[in-house]
Amino acid sequence: MAAGGFPKTISEFQTRFPTEEACEAYLAECRWPNGFICPACGGKESWRRASRRLLECKVCGRQTSVTAGTILHRTKTDLRLWFLAAFLMITDKRGLSALSLKRQIGVKRYETAWMMLHKLRRATVNANRTMLHGEIEVDEAWIGGEQKGLPGGRSRAGRRAALVVFAVETNANVPKRLRAKLVPDDTAVSLVGFVKEVAEPGSMIITDGWKAYVGLPKAGYVHNRIVEGSGKKFVNPVPHTHTAIGNYKAWLIGTHKGVWPRHLAAYLDEFVFRYNRRHNLPLAFRTLLGNGVSRGPTTYDTINGAQDLPKIVYTPSYKEAGRPGRKR
C-alpha cells in the first residue's frame, strides 16, 4: 500500500482518499514508486495537467495518464467510487453483489455497479503469477443446480452444470494458494493438462482414485493417488480442496444468488483472487486498481457478452441461472 497505510474502516478510507487528486496520487505512486519516469524520454519531472489524470513530462511534453493500462482507463466515473468499490469488494468476506454495491456507493443505475464489479474481476488475474509447488491437492467439481434422476456422480449425459478443477497448495497441512479452471470434461487431457499449467514439475500431486489422473507420473509429477473407500473406511484424500469447493459453491449461492453461466469464469477468478490474498488486503487493493496490470479499455458489450472469457457449452439449471444487468 502506498504511504498512509491501508484503511481498516470506512471512516479511515474516507480520510485516506477524500478527493480525486488523492486517488490519482495513489495510482501514480503505485505506477512509479521511485518517482515519475516518462515512458517516452525517461524524464523524471512532470506537472499535472488541468484536465484530470494526466501528467506532462517537463522534458518532452509527453502526456501520460495515471489510469492508462488499467481497468480505470478512460473511465468517466469518479475515482473515489472506484476506490470505494475495490475496498468494499476485498474487505467484505462474503463479497459483493451488484445490487449491494449500488446501494453502498450510491450510483443511480444497477448496470453501472454490475459493470464496475466485472471490470474489477478482470483485474484479479496476474498473467505472471508463479506456479504452485510442493504438495498440491487436486479435485474437480460440477458447478450448477441439482438434477434429480441423474445417475452416477461421474455421469455426463444430460448434465446441466459446468466442470471446474481446483488445486490447493499446502504446507505442513495448511492451505496456501489456490488455482482453478473451467474444463470441458474430466478426461486425462483436461485434468492432467490443468496440473501442467499450474504446478511445477516434480511436485507431489494428491488426488482421489479417478483414473484420469494416472498419467501424472509420466507428466513429471509425484502422484499420491488415494482411493476414498466407503462407509467407515472412507478417507478424504483432498480435504482442503473440498473445503475450497464448498466455499465457492456457497459464495455463488449466498452472495450472488446464482450467476449467468457465461460469466462463471469471471466469478471463479474473483474467488481464487480472494482466497489467495485473504491475508494481504493491501496487496489485493493495489492489484484490483491496476498495479502491474496491463489492460486496455474493456467495453460494456465485451463484458456483457463475456467475449473475453472462456466459453461454456451446457444448459444451465433453473437454480443457478441469473441475468447480468438484472436486479435479483
Residue-wise pLDDT for 277-287, tens only, equals: 999 999 899 88
> Closest Cα to residue 127, out of 69, 43, 88, 208?
69
**In the structure, what pLDDT confidence band is assigned to residue 311 with cuts at 50, 70 and 90?**
confident
Q: How many angstroms separate the CA atoms of 254 and 100, rounded?
A: 13
Residue 76 Rama label (left phi>0; alpha psi -120 to 50; beta): alpha
Cell of 253: 449461492
Distances (CA, A) of 64 to 32, 52, 187: 12, 11, 48
Mean pLDDT of the chain: 85
**Is the distance from CB of 14 to CB of 87 less than 8 angstroms?**
no
Mean pLDDT of 313-326: 40
- What pLDDT shows up at residue 109? 93
Q: Please count the other Cβ atoms lying within 10 Å of the Cβ belonging to residue 193.
A: 15
2-16, 82-96, 194-208, 262-276 — which is least confidently predicted? Answer: 2-16
83-97, 99-113, 204-218, 304-318 — which is least confidently predicted? Answer: 304-318
Evaluate if residue 314 carries a pLDDT over 90.
no
The separation between the first and the last C-alpha atoms of the chain, rounded to the nearest angstrom, is 35
**pLDDT tens track for 126-185:** 877 899 999 999 999 988 766 565 555 555 555 667 899 999 999 999 999 999 999 988
Quickly list DSSP for 70-85.
Answer: STTTT--S-HHHHHHH
- What pLDDT shows up at residue 52? 66
**In the structure, what pLDDT confidence band is assigned to residue 53 with cuts at 50, 70 and 90?**
confident
pTM summary value: 0.84
